[in-house]
Amino acid sequence: MSDDLASRLEMLLVLRWLDQGAEAHDPVRLALDELAVELGLDGGRQTLLELMRALGALEGRGAISVSWIAEPSAGRTAEVHLSRELRADARRLFGRG
């Protein structure tokens, strides 16, 4: 897994969080297939594993916390909470607080 993928994923998560209102305790919910499409990746099994590794790397770094939920129409969905530090950086960089 490349650092580039983890960095791109982190930015996508921040942008999603900002787009949905930037509320402190609101998670970003997304399916791995959806992530692959938004990052311009194929949706194959290897890509999905790489996305899971990238989520794990971000979680290991303390930037996010991830839990998995089952949604009837979307299958397994990641529920991602951004760290307090990442939220503060995003607000500062994008003028939201």
Tokens of 1: 């897994």
Position 81, amino acid: H
**Residue found by looking up tokens 């919910």 in the block:** 29
Is the alpha carbon torsion for 4, 5, 9, 10 positive or negative?
Answer: negative
pLDDT tens digits for 16-49?
Answer: 999 988 888 889 998 888 889 999 998 788 998 9
pLDDT tens digits for 56-90?
Answer: 999 999 999 999 987 676 667 899 999 999 999 99
Question: What is the β-pairing status of strands 28-31 and 64-71?
Answer: unpaired
Beta-strand runs (E) in the chain: 28-31, 64-71, 75-82
The three-state secondary structure class of 5 is helix
Task: Tell me the whole-structure pTM to 2 decimals.
Answer: 0.86
Q: Are 19 and 26 in contact (CB under 8 A)?
A: no
